[in-house]
Chains A and B, each alone.
Chain A
């Protein structure tokens, strides 16, 4: 039999309604009419459920009357960035969906976080609920959450926020100009850097960059990325493995290696890699991350 299978496009369209129930309605009305958020508390396990539930499913206890107000402010436990788009999404991508634990609540709730530069979003940010101008009968009575203190996005990661294994990098192509400028800055006009004819007969066969040029690429990593703004470098050690030729593209990578609890300093592992994947240098840094 020949191939006769084909695709038929269809649609499933049906009217639905959803009942929030007595407690759910009370919750929505409080959001809508009073801009108030409440949960229900289990008197046995002390869990405060937000949004509220009638039943503590762990204790099988009816808790619908044990209403407890919680704050409109809370902490982002974790978050994700939505880049994909479907018609029924609450807003246009990219947007941030956070798991927000309101002060006084035990359970976190999911909501949209706005007014944050997406590349600067992070966990543990403090946020507050922004209520919708247009009352509606869903959780979108809270339009979104916004950060309470924007300065958080202008500083690097604090000691508490840094976790072992976190990593960042910076990449740059080293040109002849870079090397000649650095020769000027440092006064190091060593012919192996600036004299091609001399360099032909020296160990590397042609001019090479000063070791400090690729090494300096770790500064933007530590100072602006990880830990980031507010970081003070305590110590940087580098061991050189290979030369850097003019035109090489060098990536400097820093990874959190150890947290020094008594000083609140962080030890970083450093690696410098060229475009051929060769390690040109390795090292270690100790830095003092910014305070929260």
Chain B
């Protein structure tokens, strides 16, 4: 399946602090912060960048002036440019596009920028408006879906399912507490689990406010370089091994029948693992940066991505093995639950996985050496991007 002209690596990452209070900057000013950090990390200037790819979802901010706004924010005037929007996966799609532009030989160094200022719009209203106007708009509640909770409670019992999802949430918060860029850092402790899982305000069914991701402002920048440039720029670049994009028919009805439907996540993992000869993802990956919009989804999707059939995903959480120093660290960054500037969010997964390989994650760096990382993006009515990063340059 690999038809690359050459190998590509992530050589630099820049992120703003994620926050719901960025009244002090407008959109381009916010983007600049992430760009400056990425340039400083790599020692590059905008002159070295051959092409910029960027994206967000306009309906969240209701400003449609990508040319003007991004030129002002990026310093990319006159440079090659590509703009992409694929919903929640936007950030991951941008990384895939940047990878393709370098792997094909079209450009040597590409900068990918994902951003969102969710405080400028109404997140759930915006998502609702993305639905079919004749059908879905009157019915849906944005990305707030309680069905996964209902299904897990049916399958594993109320107490066990609720406890596992809140434990997942608490572990994510413990990770976020170590990541100064993270938006929500609440200081949750395991002894708060009972209170939170029963008393946090309900959003939809058993999906409670504590389970749900934040609405953040922020930007993320990833710089990708060709194999001959990557080593010059970064001592230990994060090589892009492979990635896959999977989507399905738009209609949600076929996901929620009597039997639980097969998610795109599982399909993506099956395809990606097969063509990269991965037999035991838990043993083979050193970290997984997963797009987890809520702790119910995070918990359930571990099962899908790791191709479990029983309750192995619950046990990973119950045994605290997803903690950053556990057997299978998940989201040492704190994940999407902690920080969710949507157009950047899926890129942050690849960026954070890359930082772990580069050894530049700071306080939330995993102690053991990270050589093999998995990153996922999620959007739309189940649209999945799944990718593998490695510390070693893939062999062709």
Contact with A along B92-134 (1 / 0, CB 8 A): 0000000000000000000000000101111001100100011
Instruction: Specify which chain B residues have a CB less than 8 angstroms from the CB of A59 in the assembled complex.
Output: 75
Q: Are A55 and B72 within 8 A (Cβ)?
A: yes
21 A/B residue pairs, CB under 8 Å, sorted by A: A12-B129, A14-B122, A14-B126, A14-B129, A15-B125, A16-B121, A17-B121, A18-B120, A21-B25, A21-B29, A23-B29, A54-B29, A54-B32, A55-B28, A55-B73, A55-B75, A56-B75, A57-B73, A57-B75, A57-B77, A60-B45
List of 5 A-B pairs having minimum Cβ-Cβ separation, nearest first: A60-B75, A21-B26, A21-B25, A22-B24, A14-B125
Instruction: Specify which chain B residues have a CB less than 8 angstroms from the CB of A21 in the assembled complex.
Output: 23-26, 29
Instruction: Report whether A58 and B77 are in contact in the complex, using a CB–CB cutoff of 8 Å.
Output: yes
Q: How far is the CB of B106 from chain A (nearest CB, A)?
A: 23
A91 in the interface, Cβ–Cβ < 8 Å? no
CB distance from B201 to the nearest CB of A (A): 21
In the complex, are the beta carbons of B119 and A17 less than 8 A apart?
A: yes
Assess whether B26 is in contact with A55, with CB atoms less than 8 Å apart.
no
**Bound-state Cα–Cα, A54 to B74, Å:** 11
* A19-B26 in contact (CB<8A): yes
Q: Which residues of A contact B (CB under 8 A)?
A: 8, 10, 12, 14-24, 53-60, 62
B62 in the interface (beta carbon within 8 A): yes
A20 to B22, CA, bound (A): 10
What distance in Å separates the Cβ of B111 from its nearest Cβ neighbour in chain A? 12
Q: Quick one: closest B residue to A56, CB to CB?
A: B75
Closest to A53 in B: B72
Give the docked Cα–Cα distance between A185 and B341 (Å): 83
Q: Is B152 an interface residue (CB 8 A)?
A: no
Q: Give the one of A12, A17, A57 with max B CB within 10 A.
A: A57
**Is A16 within 8 A of B61, CB to CB?**
yes
* Nearest neighbor of B75 in chain A, beta-carbon distance: A60
Residues on A with beta carbons closer than 8 Å to the beta carbon of B271: none
Q: Which residues of A contact B119 (CB under 8 A)?
A: 17, 19
Mark contacts of B259-280 with chain A using CB atoms, 8 A cut-off: 1 yes-contact digit, 0 otherwise. 0000000000000000000000
User: How many angstroms from the CA of A23 to the CA of B72 in the assembled complex?
Assistant: 14
What is the bound-complex CA distance between A17 and B61, given in angstroms? 8
Q: Among B71, B75, B117, which residue has the most Cβ atoms of chain A within 10 A?
A: B75
- Which of B61, B73, B134 is close to A8, meaning CB atoms less than 8 Å apart? B134
Which residue of B is nearest A19, CB measured? B23
For A10, A20, A60, which residue has the most chain B Cβ atoms within 10 angstroms?
A60
Is B73 a contact of A16 with CB atoms below 8 Å? no
- B46 interfacial contact with A, CB 8 Å: yes
CA distance in complex: A24, B25 (Å):
8
A18 to B278 CA separation, bound complex (whole angstroms): 47
